Amino acid sequence: MVNAELARVFGRIADLLEIDGADSFRVNSYRRASRTLGDATEDVAALAESGRLTELPGIGKGTADRIVQYLNTGHIDVLTELEAKLPAGLPKLLEIPTLGPKKVALAYKELGVRELADLKRAIESGSLAKLKGMGETSVRKIAEGIAFLESSAGRTPLGEALPIAEKIVAWLRELPGVTHVSIAGSLRRGAETIGDVDILCDAADGERIVKQFSAMEGVKRVLASGGTKGSVTVDIGDGRELQVDLRVVPGESYGAALQYFTGSKQHNVRLRELAVKRKWRLNEYGLFDGEKQLAGRREEDVYKKLGVPFVPPELREDRGELEAAADSFDTLVALDDIRGDLHMHTVASDGKNTIEEMAAAAQALGYGYIAICDHSRSSTIANGLSVERMRKHLSEIRKAAERVRGIAILAGCECDILPDGSLDYPDEILAACDWVVASIHSAMGSGGAHKLSPTERTLAAMSNRYVSAIGHPTGRLLNERPAMEMDMAAVVEAAARTHTLLEINASWKRLDLKDLHVRQALAAGAHLVIDTDAHRTTQLDQMRYGVLTARRGGAAKQSIANCLTPAALRKLIARKRGA
């Protein structure tokens, strides 16, 4: 569907109109259209073909005409005119966290800021802070946003890169003469963001395979094409491209090459050191004693010959994995261990599906239980539920639980942790829930005279007996928003002490907790839960990204709450409530 693409286009028009100084009514009409297009469950192209676009809320005849124009031509006149009128570097500034269209317009009109370099100069000279509506605090946050943007530039989130790589691998497997194909590199290790995609292939005629790879559908540019290696870029939207590298290797070296190109660099260095101690040689072609190949066809054989356990790809970061006991990876959590999903939203707040639809989708994944956790009242932008609406919603969840057979439906909520550390619902409501996820959604700064820091707010929430888990604990959004300033040592210690679970939010835009924090939590004795935070049925399959993150953190299935049976899970929840 082109829905997401159209939503981005209309959002960009709204941003550029606001920078250009258009009236708020016109700007907001494009923003409403963008939200509608992004939320639409039917294919907008199909709606256009059947003349039903105006059935969508906020889509009038003029907007419908622009949608049709884009579908037919790939552009919209309004956007083309705005891009020609405004400096080309201005829209890029909108990628900076905390810098919205109003502030971009102010810097442009008052200081002549036309691109990032101009903005940096305005910050350094102090002129930006002198503008009305800016100030030192705003400028400091903008500077931090620039640093964050630059540090994440060129990195593609796991959840965008992996589906693309999997489609290419599936396509390659169908080519005549191909024996094996594998994803390698940081993507195979499950890293939260990657620079490019590495794919390894075992085939007899490397040159032919590389030529076909370079000509496959979706290739934007061919960077290299040779006898054994090809490099291309593919379009991933928003003007971004993802580099994909293919290497064709002989079967006798496939395992060694897969190990070598999976990495990480530090892990490979340690393996080579083990080989050198035995006066052997290890490279992408195999493990050798002089000219004799000792291992190479199978990746597992390389590790076995070197006398160390086979290390799962996610753990190959030189964090002690080569010193681990031979059976230490046997209980590492796997996707098949997940028995349920304990954080999802419905149409009651900002979700797109009903309770029954979410339950049916979870059943299709083989789950035995779910928790419905719609937003609390302070999340107005997410249609948060008032106390009265929440009471009615809990009743509806319990009625649905009686109607739906074969899966347990827990009545829960995602309750905001407010700036003063209090919770958005009274204990009366929280006690009526089976499961409570407490999360910070606003005022994410480091505190001040009249509010607590994110750490203090989180600790206060964990002290409440009804809070089952802390949702997306650091509040980060990959490549969009940095994590809150948190004292994670204090948070994980309190989580263990209060029997509060810490969430690994599996949404690929979050992956929060991240892998290093997972390790920290486990070391402190805290338990975790992996949730998708799904807002529609199709997002439930993001669980795999959370599992990859948990594996990178070394999490065993025994430490993950939603690997428990329903009875054991209820016992775990009751332990916190009785503490």
Looking up tokens 């030192």 gives: 136
- pLDDT, residue 378, reads 93
Q: Rounded CA gap, 54 and 58, in Å?
A: 8
Question: Residues 543-576: pLDDT tens digits?
Answer: 999 999 999 999 999 999 999 999 999 999 999 9
State the average pLDDT over residues 257-278.
Answer: 95
Q: Rounded CA gap, 564 and 435, in Å?
A: 15
Name the CATH topology of 89-153: DNA polymerase; domain 1 (1.10.150)
CA-to-CA separations, 387 to 391, 424, 469, in angstroms, rounded: 6, 9, 20
State the average pLDDT over residues 86-115.
Answer: 88
Torsion of the alpha carbons at 151, 155, 157 and 160, rounded to the nearest 10: 150
- pLDDT, residue 3, reads 84
- Looking at every residue in the chain, the average pLDDT score rounds to 93
Q: Rounded CA gap, 19 and 105, in Å?
A: 5
Indicate if the pLDDT at residue 345 is higher than 60.
yes
- pLDDT, residue 273, reads 95
Rg (CA), the chain: 26
Determine the distance from the C-alpha atom of residue 321 to the mean position of all C-alpha atoms in its chain, rounded to a whole number: 25
> pLDDT > 90: what percent of the chain?
75
Between the ranges 37-51, 116-130, 285-299, where is the mean pLDDT highest? Answer: 285-299
- Taking residue 132's Cβ as centre, other Cβ atoms within 10 Å add up to 7
The region of weakest confidence among 51-55, 91-95, 439-443 is: 91-95
> pLDDT > 70: what percent of the chain?
98
CATH architecture of 1-86: Orthogonal Bundle (1.10)
State the average pLDDT over residues 439-452.
Answer: 78
CA-to-CA separations, 413 to 210, 384, 529, 537, in angstroms, rounded: 51, 10, 15, 18
- Indicate where the chain has its CATH 1.10.150.20 domain(s): 89-153
- pLDDT, residue 471, reads 98
Q: Which band of pLDDT confidence, cut at 50, 70 and 90, is reported for residue 208?
A: very high
Q: Rounded CA gap, 79 and 25, in Å?
A: 17
Q: Rounded CA gap, 314 and 327, in Å?
A: 16
Determine the distance from the C-alpha atom of residue 151 to the mean position of all C-alpha atoms in its chain, rounded to a whole number: 17
- Indicate where the chain has its CATH 3.20.20.140 domain(s): 335-578
- Indicate where the chain has its CATH 3.30.460.10 domain(s): 156-316
- pLDDT, residue 151, reads 66
Name the CATH topology of 335-578: TIM Barrel (3.20.20)
Cβ within 8 Å of residue 295, ≥6 positions away: 255, 256, 286, 287, 301, 302, 304, 305
Question: Residues 227-253: pLDDT tens digits?
Answer: 999 999 998 877 788 999 999 999 999
- pLDDT, residue 152, reads 59
- CATH superfamily, domain at 156-316: Beta Polymerase, domain 2 (3.30.460.10)
- pLDDT, residue 88, reads 84
- Indicate where the chain has its CATH 1.10.150.110 domain(s): 1-86
- pLDDT, residue 42, reads 79
